[in-house]
Chains A and B, each alone.
Chain A
Amino acid sequence: MSDSSAIAQGAVAEAGTPHGEHPPYQRHHFESMDQQADATNFAMWLFLVTEVMFFGGMFTAYLIYRNWYYPAFVSASHQLSIVWGTTNTAVLITSSFTMAMGVWCAETRRKSGLVLSLVLTLLLGLVFLGIKSIEYHEKWEKHHVPGLHYSMEAFLNPASDPAVFKEYHDKPMALDMARHTELYFFLYFAMTGMHALHMIVGMAILIYIIFRARAGAYTSGHVTFVENFGLYWHFVDIIWIFLYPLLYLISRHQ
């Protein structure tokens, strides 16, 4: 009440010096650069928590139906190529490594190193999606995409699919169980598709970051954005680290 005039003066003084003495990338409402970096980093972590829960719904569904329709899920999983899956895991891990190197380059202010790492990350991401699309294409050819054209032939009569049969010697399944392979493929497409969608979004951001990095935006001490993007990229990697055994590996011998 009594100091309302003082408050008004304070406001004028504050408005007079819009940037004060802090660096241009520091937002006004933060007291220090550390506070800003800390806050955005924490926000990124919380966002990743929401992503964990988002994927969690699908993981729950997968685990429940795998328990319910065990034979169908085992046979259906035999249709996936462990070689492609393993290759893709290696590709994604390598891209995580190049991303981590990118963060290091930004922290130690190495501009060309940063750009190189980010470009490599982008390329490895593309390789991953390329391999994924080869796999998707194979499913399409074999009529294993859920929907109107879905075919259970490979499960009712495993010998009709010699390549897979040679390796696994699956027994023919009753129609009632074979129907549930469609559920496996749906979950396969939903989970890997949602993962791929996250990669595509990530790569779009990555392209933006590469352009900004070439202009030197992240090698002058302001690395928060690259670091936070790195967290996102590693998170996408972790999702795959779990999808890979669940979808490809654990049913090989059952």
Chain B
Amino acid sequence: MSSTIVSLPDQSTARIPKTNFLTKENGLLSWLLTGDHKRIAILYLISITFFFFIGGALAGLIRLELLTPQSDLMATDTYNKVFTMHGVIMIFLFLVPSVPATLGNFLIPMMLGAKDLALPKINLLSWYLYVVGGCLVIYTMVAGGVDTGWTFTTPLSTHYVNTNVMSTGMAVFIAGFSSIFTGLNFIVTIHKMRCPGMTWFRMPLFVWAHYAASILMVLGTPVLAITIVLMALERTVGIGVFDPTKGGDPLLFQHLFWFYSHPAVYIMILPGMGVISETISTFSRKRVFGYTAVAFSSVAIAIFGFFVWAHHMFIMGISNYAVLVFSLLTMLVAVPSAIKIFNWAFTLYKGSITFETPMLYSFGFMGLFTIGGMTGVFLGASGTDIHLTETYFIVAHFHFVMVGGMLMAFLAGIHFWWPKMTGRMYPEKISQMAAVITFVGFNLTFFPQFILGTLGMPRRYAAYPPEFQVLNVFSTAGATILGVGYLMPVLYLTWSLKYGAIAGNNPWQATGLEWQTQSPPLTENFTRIPIMDHEAYDYEWLEQQQAKEVASVG
């Protein structure tokens, strides 16, 4: 436990390599017109961080309002707008692109031994689409916000609200295409750009997870696009597909919307699981237990994930038989998720575990995601769902999965690959502290909400009965701690850009191809195309490689 695997080069002589993707070209245009997947990843990282903090500020406002039972900080209408914008920003502008568009973009070509993604221009286009979508969201906020909830539920969104539904819808539509193009690019790259010797079962599990998530993006997002188009037409021209007075069925909107938006949950979590596979293996110095099972469980989640969407609609009046079927299918998704958790646990077993920051976040992920996933099973069972849905139990459940799961994984990944992206280490002690603060703050924020939910506090209201106040105060206090936990990485990571220790090629002694080249990498990633002659996570190969290097230098 006291030991560490970090091995940095001698700081007195080490320098960041002069030629790398950051220094190759200068000037704003060289960034805005770049085709380099690594630069696009950095652009994405900056933009999603920006939106994360806007969404986070809105979350702060929500918690502040809920400090007291009355709606006193803001009007109830404003509260509706605030939680809607929080949802739209966090889901479409942060969680969906978070790991794939930043870490995935940066690492997939490198892990596969390729020079770039298959379609660099499409990759850049997808970033621009994201920015346009983001600008529309900002416009929406400036123009007065929208209060439909992020789900655009009809007929509320089409008939009853008089806020900026159209601009938000357009933002989601455009951001959706950004995610389609990212997914498409990943699938093509994974199929066609692998280096010699990189067979499917030698790919890092990070790539497998992204492959599964990309399938979901490509197959699911277009359905969201057409749903948004129909919703917009319903609102502007009054076409009637979702309007009961004209014979339409509002539930059809729900079907089409959740056909995307449930798989979207897996779009968000699968890449996070990919990160965890990498960190768990590296920091326990062991090959991931049951590599094949973990790889296939990603694909299984992708496939099962498509056929469970109606569990969002149990109380909406779908047929009882459909409830039965979808409830059963929902339980099935728990199986591949559990396979992953068990396999990670077995990877830890008898491993030489060290507790660097990425590993702390990964432990956070495993614990919180398990709680989030298990409560998902409660909600998948239609009986308990009828009691718990539309209460804070749901809110706590998906925040455990999305924030406790995905955001922890995102932070684990950012810390883990930070030395690769920038060439410099982040400060270890303070970041470990940030990880612990985040974990504590998270639990204090969201665990009380499980209790509030079971007690029956409904979600989406600015006011609540006074007897719920104690737990809400806990929750708000936790949110404050959580906010500190998220601000710290921004500060010390920025600091490390100039003052961090020089990381060298492979500070973690990790096995992926991305670690076998300089950091930050060259624009072409490798001086020559690597040949993959060993299995993934083969630490003996790495040792031999290093022994050879030492011998040749000596």
Contact = CB atoms under 8 A, between A and B. Distances in A.
Nearest to A64: B252
Contact of A55 (B189, B226, B239, B524): B226
A39 B192 contact: yes
Given A29-B120, A38-B192, A8 B17 contact: yes
Nearest to A147: B237
A46 B189 CA distance: 12
A2 B517 contact: no
A56 interface: yes
B241 interface: yes
A169 B486 CA distance: 71
B188 A190 contact: no
A147 B252 contact: no
A53 B222 contact: yes
Contacts of A35: 192-193
B9 interface: yes
> For B17, B19, B256, which residue has the most chain A Cβ atoms within 10 angstroms?
B19
Contacts of B230: 57-58, 61, 190
A244 interface: no
Contacts of B219: 49-50, 53
Interface in B37-91: none
Contacts of A179: 246-247
A186 B240 contact: yes
A182 B252 contact: no
A223 B64 CA distance: 60
A135 interface: no
B445 interface: no
A183 B225 contact: no
A42 B241 contact: no
A228 to B, nearest CB: 12
A27 B528 CA distance: 17
Contacts of B162: none
A43 B17 contact: no
Contacts of B222: 50-54, 56-57
B223 A4 contact: no
A150 to B, nearest CB: 10
Contact of A1 (B9, B114, B118, B180): B9
Interface in B503-554: 504-506, 517-518, 522-524, 527-529, 549, 552-553
B18 A68 contact: no
Interface in B248-295: 248-249, 252, 255-256
A1 B505 contact: yes
Contact of A11 (B9, B187, B527, B553): B527
Contacts of A60: 252, 255-256
A214 interface: no
B527 A39 contact: no
A39 B233 CA distance: 36
Contacts of B256: 57, 60-61
B19 A11 contact: yes
A53 B223 contact: yes
B534 to A, nearest CB: 19
A6 interface: yes
B192 A49 contact: no
Nearest to A69: B247
A54 B225 contact: yes
Nearest to A62: B241
Contacts of B240: 146, 182-183, 186
Given A39-B188, A42-B192, A183 B19 contact: no
A52 B146 CA distance: 31
B184 A46 contact: yes
A14 B233 contact: no
A161 to B, nearest CB: 22
Nearest to A148: B238
A50 B218 contact: yes
A47 interface: yes
Contacts of A46: 184, 187-188, 218
Given A29-B116, A46-B188, A6 B504 contact: no
B247 A4 contact: no
A162 interface: no
A34 to B, nearest CB: 10
Contacts of A65: 241, 247-248
Interface string A6-50: 111011101000000000000111010001001110110011011
Contacts of B120: 27, 29
Nearest to A2: B553
B114 A183 contact: no
A39 B118 contact: yes
Nearest to A59: B226
B220 interface: yes
Contacts of A29: 114-118, 120, 193, 524
A186 B226 contact: no
Contact of B518 (A4, A52, A61, A180): A4
A64 B114 CA distance: 46
A7 B17 contact: yes
B221 interface: yes
Contacts of A7: 17, 517-518, 522, 527
B119 interface: yes
A217 B259 CA distance: 42
B11 to A, nearest CB: 13
B524 A11 contact: yes
A8 B192 contact: no
Contacts of B553: 2
> For B246, B504, B506, B527, which residue has the most chain A Cβ atoms within 10 angstroms?
B527
A1 B549 CA distance: 9
A14 B524 contact: yes
B498 interface: no
A159 interface: no
B147 to A, nearest CB: 25
A52 B247 CA distance: 26
Given A43-B188, A190-B230, A10 B528 contact: yes
A12 B17 CA distance: 13
A187 interface: yes
Given A53-B220, A183-B247, A31 B184 contact: no
Interface of B: 9, 17-19, 114-120, 122, 180, 184-185, 187-189, 191-193, 218-223, 225-227, 230, 233, 237-241, 246-249, 252, 255-256, 504-506, 517-518, 522-524, 527-529, 549, 552-553
Q: Can you list the 10 inter-chain pairs with the closest CB atoms, starting with the nearest?
A: A10-B527, A57-B226, A29-B116, A54-B222, A29-B115, A53-B222, A39-B192, A180-B247, A39-B118, A186-B239
19 contacts: A1-B505, A6-B527, A7-B517, A35-B192, A40-B119, A42-B187, A43-B119, A51-B222, A53-B219, A54-B222, A54-B223, A55-B226, A58-B226, A60-B255, A65-B247, A146-B238, A182-B246, A182-B247, A183-B247
Given A50-B222, A53-B219, 5 more contacts: A1-B506, A7-B527, A39-B192, A43-B122, A54-B222
